Structure 1
Amino acid sequence: MLSTLGLAASATEADSRREKGIETLERITGATGNSVVNSLSDISPELGDWIVDFAYGDVFSRSGVALCTRELATISALTALGNAQPQLKVHIEGALNVGCKPEEIVEIIIQMAVYAGFPSALNGISAAREVFTKRGITLSSASPR
């Protein structure tokens, strides 16, 4: 009996993780995140499950930091990596979706020139430009100093 209760609790916990993960993924990425997860179903559905359950159900959905801050941190990391352009664009979109300002995104990417190098920052700015153009966002040419 005890093991049956443990399995039921575990299944309920997994369902809750999945629900939080899907909700958070959709809030940040809209349909894009689900498309990425679904595109993995034929080759690695487990990877898709981990993205939803762990990344979005366990980490992104935590209450300790606002989603905008989490997205800016993610943009920093992906810019610094320098080899994750598709994911960077998704998270620039996500940052805008959760209320980050375009100027904040640009400032975070500029700061990465100090820690990750100019090539990474230039690639990040290029990704931001693509997302902003797609959304019809224009920035004033005068940046704060």
Structure 2
Amino acid sequence: MTHQPQTRLERGTQALAQIDGEAGEAVIASLADIAPDFATLLLEFPFGDIYTRPGLDLRAREVATIAALAAMGTAQPQLKVHIAAGLNVGLTRDEIVEILMQMAVYAGFPAALNGLFAAKEVFAQRDAA
């Protein structure tokens, strides 16, 4: 029997590793010298409380996250992390492109274009690795 994480922090740390992998760990590490308490909040709330809820699988949660970040148009670093996360949880490149194209209807062409360029960058980084 595997150990089920009991605390929000344990659940969040496990979910972050599964969803974002090294990119998520890098975000947490980058906060260590400026706002370690914020890193804990990031692990506990979005990953420990929200991503681990029943009702949506991780693919569906990443579809929603990619769409929301693309629509915001101001969160390019986070969008790139979540495009990579979408690939990590089983989204295909074609699905990610379609999600971003859909944003042209609801968030405008600039948001869709910026999202597509972010995806292109993430895909190229994956291909180079």
Alignment of 1:39-50 (within 5 A): 39-50=30-41
The answer to whether the aligner puts 1:105 opposite 2:63 as a matched pair is no
Deviation at 1:34, TM superposition (A): 1.4
The answer to whether the aligner puts 1:84 opposite 2:101 as a matched pair is no
Q: Which runs of 4+ in 1 moved over 3 A?
A: none
Deviation at 1:65, TM superposition (A): 0.3
Question: Which position in structure 2 is the counterpart of 1:118?
Answer: 109
Q: After superposition, what is the alpha-carbon deviation per residue over 1:123-145, rounded to whole angstroms, capped at 9, x for unaligned?
A: 000000011111229xxxxxxxx
Residue type matched to 1:82 in 2?
A: G
Considering only CA atoms, is the larger Rg found in Structure 1 or Structure 2? 1
Query: In 2, Cα distance between the equivalents of 1:19 and 1:54?
Result: 11
TM-score, scaled relative to structure 1: 0.81
Question: Which position in structure 2 is the counterpart of 1:135?
Answer: 126
Deviation at 1:39, TM superposition (A): 1.1
Question: Which position in structure 2 is the counterpart of 1:6?
Answer: none
Question: Which position in structure 2 is the counterpart of 1:22?
Answer: 13
Give the unaligned 5+ runs of structure 1: 1-14, 138-145
The answer to whether the aligner puts 1:31 opposite 2:22 as a matched pair is yes
SS of residue in 2 equivalent to 1:91: helix
Deviation at 1:82, TM superposition (A): 0.4
- 86-95 or 27-36, which moves further after superposition? 27-36
Deviation at 1:89, TM superposition (A): 0.5
Residue type matched to 1:126 in 2?
A: F
Q: How many residues align?
A: 124
Residue type matched to 2:105 in 1?
A: V
Query: In 1, Cα distance between the equivalents of 2:123 and 2:95?
Result: 13
Q: After superposition, what is the alpha-carbon deviation per residue over 1:87-109, rounded to whole angstroms, capped at 9, x for unaligned?
A: 00000000000001111111110
Query: In 2, Cα distance between the equivalents of 1:63 and 1:95?
Result: 18
TM-score, scaled relative to structure 2: 0.91
Query: In 2, Cα distance between the equivalents of 1:59 and 1:16?
Result: 13
Give the unaligned 5+ runs of structure 2: 1-5
